[in-house]
Structure 1
Amino acid sequence: MTTLDYVVIFVFTFLVVLAGISFGKSGKDMKSYFAAGGAVPWSISGLSLYMSFFSAGTFVVWGSIAYKMGWVAITIQSLMCLGGFLVAYFIAPKWRKTNVLTAAEFVRRRLGERTQKLYTLIILILSLAYTGAFLYPVAKIVSVSTNWPINACIIGLGLLVLLYTVVGGLWAVIITDVLQFVILTVVVAIVVILALNNVGGISGFIAKAPEDFWSLTGGEYSWKFMLAFAVYNTVFIGGNWAYVQRYTSVKTPKDAKKVGLTFGWLYLVSPLVWMLPPMIYRIINPNLEGGLGAEEAYMLMCKEVLPMGMLGLMLGGMVFATASSVNTTLNLAASIITNDVFKPWKPNTSDKQLMSVAKISTLLFGLGTIAVALLVPSLGGIVNVVLSVGAVTGCSLYGPPIWALFSKRVTGRAVLAITLISLALNILVLLISPLNRANEMLLGAVLPFLLLGLYEGYLVQKGKKTSLEYKNYQLLKEKNTLVTESNSGQNEFGLKILGNTLAAVGFLIVVLAFFGNNSAVLIACMGVLILVVAALIHPSVKIISKA
């Protein structure tokens, strides 16, 4: 990397952090800090959901699979669109109709305080594992590009993400997500075009690729795995407490449906574009050794083709996009601790004191995340961590509350028992007799729903139509309606911050075109495209806010 790349990284980091902390004054109470006032435009919330899910491991986890196995990585990611569509039509509107601030609040109202307390404990512990696994790829990308020690990158980047997440709350998370989406889409398009030119175009790429590079499945990623992964993603997208915030923070159930549809359509078309760089790098350098070496393929492709300055921008975009999953989960953890643990314990606490608890919770949880991320290399690399933890916990943890959204019969005790049984059996199998990837994912996806279905059938056979907990929940739901603010001022402010930041980055890319040599025209066109997007955002504030 050149001096110009480091300058670009510094400028880009400054712009992103400035955009995030600009929302410091908007988070004056719990609803604005954790739900952005409850009336976020669905388009923004949908893009934020996409980036939160997309960035969990696209560059490292799926990039590694794309380098080694080609089209298999595209098949896996494309299945996520099915989850998005199912969530859009069946689950997201249900979450918005609950009129809650967080998923934990729904669990407490619908299934009881005892169930909520244990769920909260499990979610917080596992969130540490997830966020640690999400922070590691960020540091990995920087370490590969700069040759800085991986541990120093983990600590430094963790503290940086903490800064704007603590200050800006959910608005900071959402706006920085959308910012990364626009910038990364443009920069990855540049990488794909330059990379294809490097291997003789599309025809050259196809001709030089390994014979099995175009197989839809391969190795441990069989159709059985794909089916289980589709079920898992539906549950994870629809039930993960961090993603539930995207459905509860919009104005209406119809808007919540649009959030899910945005996610689904983006995942239908985007995997091919995102996965091409590491696939093409396999042609250029087929000798990366082992799984951990393949994890570097995405960034190595960028280093191969991007001119000076643009590599720094790509690195900055990848870092903050991957960090999206970290700041999303940090905001979730703080919301659980503040709204669902501290507030019920101290119900008379003022909003000012609750906001202090929220920010301290974010800070402490973030420090814990950094500690976990430091342990990831000793746990077999990020691929094993993300896939194994996800397979064991995803459906077991998030499936039962989703079932409770639809079932009038299920009780808190039953949900808790099924969750613990599913987790215990999956962990037991993982430790004693590990399965292959497909069977591991299938067991994790099917077991909790099999148990829930058997229990529901048992209640139907006994003639039980409605549980006492559900009746109490309905009474409580009628009394407690989440009042959404018009938020026109806050939405307009958010769009202005987004537009201004995009304009600054677009101008930066146009300047970098002067250093682009043979790719100068392409880079300049992409910079102008971002400037056009930034210009469209400002005049359209009222239209987007009503969308």
Structure 2
Amino acid sequence: MTHTTVLSHLDWLIIGLILGLTLVISLVLKDSGGKGGVEEFFTANRSAKWWFLGTSIAATTFASDTPLVITGWIADYGVAGNWFWWGGAIGIVAITVFFARVWRSTGVVTDAEIAELRYGGKPATVLRTSKAFVFSVIVNCVVLGWVFAGMSKIAEPFMDWQYLLGSTLYTVIESIYPEVLIFNDLNTSLTIFTLVVVTLTYSAVGGLKAILVTDMIWFVLAMTMAITLSYFAVSHVGGLDQLWASLETTYPVGGNATDLDGKAFLDHQQLSSFIPSFSDEAVGSLGIPFSAFILTLTFMWWTNGNVDGAGFFAQRLYSAADNSEAEKGALWYGLAHFVFRSWPWVIAGIAALVIYPRVAVNDVAAQFNACLNDSQVCSIAQRTCLDSRYACQIDEFGLLYEKHITQADGTTQVEFREDRERSYPAMIKDVLPTGLLGLALVALMGAFMSTVSTHINWGASYIANDFYLRFVNPKATNQRLTLVSRLATLGITVAAVTFASFIENVGAMWQLYLGMMAGLGLPHLLRWFWWRANAWSELAGMLTGLLLALGNYVLEYNTLLPSGQISIFPTAIASHPIHVICWISVCAALVSLVTTFITPAVPDATLQRFVDKVKPIGLWKNLNQAHQPARSFAASMLYFVLGSIGIYAGMFGIGYGLRLDYGVASILLSIFTITMLIVIRGMNKINRER
């Protein structure tokens, strides 16, 4: 069997140099002797500037799976499928104007620690411990699970370890590699293992400071290469004019082409529309019927537990140099994530539909299925592809995956099916020249490592700060805390890798994660605005959401639900995953409110200490009369509305420009400029007055 590689020596050199640079950075930024303790390891000594922390958040949320998922959404649901994450822009603006400053004012090391500052007493201690466990172990494992799955798809077309190591050494590794840590196959597992080792090294050695610096490098590289790939992909089909013309020709209105499972392809109007089509029934797990679209914009964003920035987002906010830097950093993240980053991915997804037409890919899948059933009809080219993906000369083969179908007699049959997510790495391989190919691949590796490093550092912060320092050794030295932090980083990594190896369905993990977080949306809002909220409010909401989400996942995953039912809720009210998540939010909110009124209120002395420290706006029994908040509720609402309008105007302004509708683009970009100037001037006015 002959093995080849699509990467040149130059590509390998670039990948090696950039990965090596991350290790050098961690050694340079290492806290000598661990003298900085948790403050340095997890908050970078609270010295980050707005552009630093905002870029770090943007780098973390650009996981390697993100452009792949978006490419798949565009094929199945059109550009409008991105509303699944575009709706989150409203929540990011809310974090910016309502919560960024108060997070920085708390002075905590983890968001779980806020429980004892806000509520006090034994219930707060229970809440702090419970949230630390849920976020450090359960949430981290779920999130990292789909990140690992996405990286395996990227690595598959490029990383042929049998070629790199030689057949003898590869066979030895194959005989000793733990079965429990296999991702799809040994080849992709070795790639992920290598990247995790590099990530673990610079995360454990350099802490958050090293993560912030490497995040900056990864973000710049990832954005540059995302734009570069889009440019080369569009140039490959003849420019933007030809891209849209080819899309219209390839996917005509009224076409009757379907995939091998009988699902019809979208036409060019549906593919290019920015607004979902509500006339058709939702199909699949991410279709957006009208009700789900409205819920995304009006309900789902504020009932999610991250609505106030809790989690790794908060970790960045309280690592800011001051309140102003935290607020501006959150705004910069919103602009970078939604306005500037959306369209390189979207245009690449559209170009992939033209470069690899769905009809052609499905025809190739059918031909390979025939080959599997009868070896006599296999061509030499097909046999080469089946023998080695790296030697395959059939471009469409890179978009196929093996689907295991259970037959009536209990046997399993393997058939090839189209996987549009794979068209993103396929374009990297097919349209980029030597050198740029290596840069694009290492950029996606960097996106993977940025997400992983943040989550293992964030998860370790709970173990070191909320378990060890709080309960085990309150008098621990900074050197001991740094050691515990590094060991916790290792432990979180091992747990996440082990859990991820069992994940088969990434979409199910997304739904599980959002369901688990749905129970904390209302409690997280109330803790900042209403004196009556207590620790039991958050515990009740968190446990209700967690149990409902886990129960729903177990029943659905094991097909224990009635036929056609997708959740524990009746189909009449929950025909779509967004409906399910919203119903979990409603149930958790009701349980949380009832629990609030039947449990004791937080003592006034505890509330007063919280108010004195944070200076929140809202209803606080007049305990905050002596404090003037940084910005009134009315002014915050004004900037919230203007900021939301501005981000969507900027995002769609660029989109209409790329669709060559320059009139609409000019109007929207003008609105974007005006609203952002008003919001930024309002933020600066606060800073000057204070």
TM-score by length of 1: 0.79
Alpha-carbon displacement from aligned partner over 1:507-536 (angstroms, at most 9, x marks no partner):
xxxxxxxxxxxxxxxxxxxxxxxxxxxxxx
| Counterpart selection for 1:24 from 20, 30, 54 | 30
2:13 aligns with 7
1:510 aligns with none
2:527 aligns with 404
- Checking the alignment, whether the CA contact within 8 Å between 1:34 and 1:335 is kept in structure 2 is yes
Q: Where do 1:110-149 residues align within 5 Å?
A: 110-111=118-119, 112-126=124-138, 127-148=140-161, 149=187
| Counterpart selection for 1:468 from 591, 602, 605 | 602
Q: CA deviation at 1:342?
A: 0.3
| Counterpart selection for 2:318 from 248, 252, 265 | 248
1:349 aligns with 476
**AA matched with 2:80:** V
Corresponding residue SS for 2:419: helix
Q: Where do 1:99-114 residues align within 5 Å?
A: 99-111=107-119, 112-114=124-126
Q: CA deviation at 1:62?
A: 2.2
1:38 aligns with 46
- Checking the alignment, whether the CA contact within 8 Å between 2:109 and 2:315 is kept in structure 1 is yes
Judged with a 3 Å threshold, the aligned counterparts in structure 2 of structure 1 residues 50 and 390 are, in CA distance, closer, same or farther, namely same
| Counterpart selection for 1:326 from 444, 448, 452 | 452
Alpha-carbon displacement from aligned partner over 1:129-168 (angstroms, at most 9, x marks no partner):
2123223323331223224512222222211210101011
Q: Report which stretch shifted further, 437-446 or 415-424.
A: 437-446
* d(CA) in 1 for partners of 2:603, 2:109: 20
Judged with a 3 Å threshold, the aligned counterparts in structure 2 of structure 1 residues 398 and 145 are, in CA distance, closer, same or farther, namely farther
Judged with a 3 Å threshold, the aligned counterparts in structure 2 of structure 1 residues 145 and 68 are, in CA distance, closer, same or farther, namely farther
Q: CA deviation at 1:451?
A: 4.4
Q: Report which stretch shifted further, 206-215 or 167-176.
A: 206-215
* d(CA) in 2 for partners of 1:395, 1:166: 31
**AA matched with 1:11:** L
* d(CA) in 2 for partners of 1:30, 1:283: 51
* d(CA) in 2 for partners of 1:229, 1:21: 44
Corresponding residue SS for 1:295: helix
* d(CA) in 2 for partners of 1:168, 1:284: 43
- Checking the alignment, whether the CA contact within 8 Å between 2:156 and 2:188 is kept in structure 1 is yes
Alpha-carbon RMSD across the aligned residues, in angstroms, is 2.8
- Checking the alignment, whether the CA contact within 8 Å between 1:333 and 1:362 is kept in structure 2 is yes
Corresponding residue SS for 1:225: helix
Judged with a 3 Å threshold, the aligned counterparts in structure 2 of structure 1 residues 42 and 479 are, in CA distance, closer, same or farther, namely closer
- Checking the alignment, whether the CA contact within 8 Å between 1:239 and 1:401 is kept in structure 2 is no
- Checking the alignment, whether the CA contact within 8 Å between 1:133 and 1:373 is kept in structure 2 is yes
Q: CA deviation at 1:351?
A: 1.0
Q: CA deviation at 1:317?
A: 0.7
- Checking the alignment, whether the CA contact within 8 Å between 1:55 and 1:321 is kept in structure 2 is yes
1:300 aligns with 426
* d(CA) in 1 for partners of 2:211, 2:71: 24
Q: CA deviation at 1:77?
A: 3.6
**AA matched with 2:460:** A
- Checking the alignment, whether the CA contact within 8 Å between 1:81 and 1:268 is kept in structure 2 is no
1:393 maps to 2:516 = yes
2:438 aligns with 312
Judged with a 3 Å threshold, the aligned counterparts in structure 2 of structure 1 residues 343 and 469 are, in CA distance, closer, same or farther, namely farther
Query: What are the ranges of 5 or more consecutive residues in structure 2 without an aligned counterpart?
Result: 1-5, 162-186, 252-267, 362-398, 402-416, 556-560, 568-575, 616-686
Corresponding residue SS for 1:191: helix
| Counterpart selection for 1:438 from 578, 595, 616 | 578
Q: Report which stretch shifted further, 119-128 or 343-352.
A: 119-128
1:170 aligns with 208
1:360 aligns with 487
Corresponding residue SS for 2:434: coil
* d(CA) in 2 for partners of 1:429, 1:480: 38
* d(CA) in 1 for partners of 2:48, 2:606: 30
Q: Where do 1:279-298 residues align within 5 Å?
A: 279-285=350-356, 286=358, 287=361, 288-289=399-400, 293-298=419-424
1:179 maps to 2:306 = no
| Counterpart selection for 2:544 from 402, 421, 431 | 421
* d(CA) in 2 for partners of 1:223, 1:129: 29
Judged with a 3 Å threshold, the aligned counterparts in structure 2 of structure 1 residues 151 and 447 are, in CA distance, closer, same or farther, namely same
* d(CA) in 1 for partners of 2:348, 2:271: 14
Q: Where do 1:452-531 residues align within 5 Å?
A: 452=592, 467-469=601-603, 471-475=605-609
* d(CA) in 2 for partners of 1:280, 1:184: 19
Corresponding residue SS for 2:321: coil
* d(CA) in 1 for partners of 2:551, 2:507: 20
* d(CA) in 2 for partners of 1:186, 1:238: 30
- Checking the alignment, whether the CA contact within 8 Å between 2:42 and 2:207 is kept in structure 1 is yes
Judged with a 3 Å threshold, the aligned counterparts in structure 2 of structure 1 residues 29 and 323 are, in CA distance, closer, same or farther, namely same
| Counterpart selection for 1:221 from 265, 282, 288 | 288
Q: Where do 1:174-213 residues align within 5 Å?
A: 174-209=212-247, 210=251, 211=268, 212-213=270-271
Q: CA deviation at 1:22?
A: 2.3
* d(CA) in 2 for partners of 1:11, 1:223: 49
Q: How many residues align?
A: 473
Judged with a 3 Å threshold, the aligned counterparts in structure 2 of structure 1 residues 17 and 410 are, in CA distance, closer, same or farther, namely same
Q: Report which stretch shifted further, 333-342 or 276-285.
A: 276-285
Q: Where do 1:68-87 residues align within 5 Å?
A: 68-87=76-95
Higher helix proportion (structure 1 or 2)? 1
* d(CA) in 1 for partners of 2:197, 2:340: 34
Judged with a 3 Å threshold, the aligned counterparts in structure 2 of structure 1 residues 271 and 73 are, in CA distance, closer, same or farther, namely farther
- Checking the alignment, whether the CA contact within 8 Å between 1:391 and 1:440 is kept in structure 2 is no
- Checking the alignment, whether the CA contact within 8 Å between 1:107 and 1:401 is kept in structure 2 is no
- Checking the alignment, whether the CA contact within 8 Å between 1:237 and 1:243 is kept in structure 2 is no
**AA matched with 1:217:** P
Q: CA deviation at 1:308?
A: 0.7
Alpha-carbon displacement from aligned partner over 1:84-124 (angstroms, at most 9, x marks no partner):
11110112222222221210110233241011112222222
Q: CA deviation at 1:319?
A: 1.0
**AA matched with 2:272:** W
* d(CA) in 1 for partners of 2:434, 2:64: 27
**AA matched with 2:470:** P
Q: CA deviation at 1:258?
A: 1.2
Q: CA deviation at 1:61?
A: 2.3
* d(CA) in 1 for partners of 2:489, 2:538: 28
TM-score by length of 2: 0.64
Query: What are the ranges of 5 or more consecutive residues in structure 1 without an aligned counterpart?
Result: 482-545
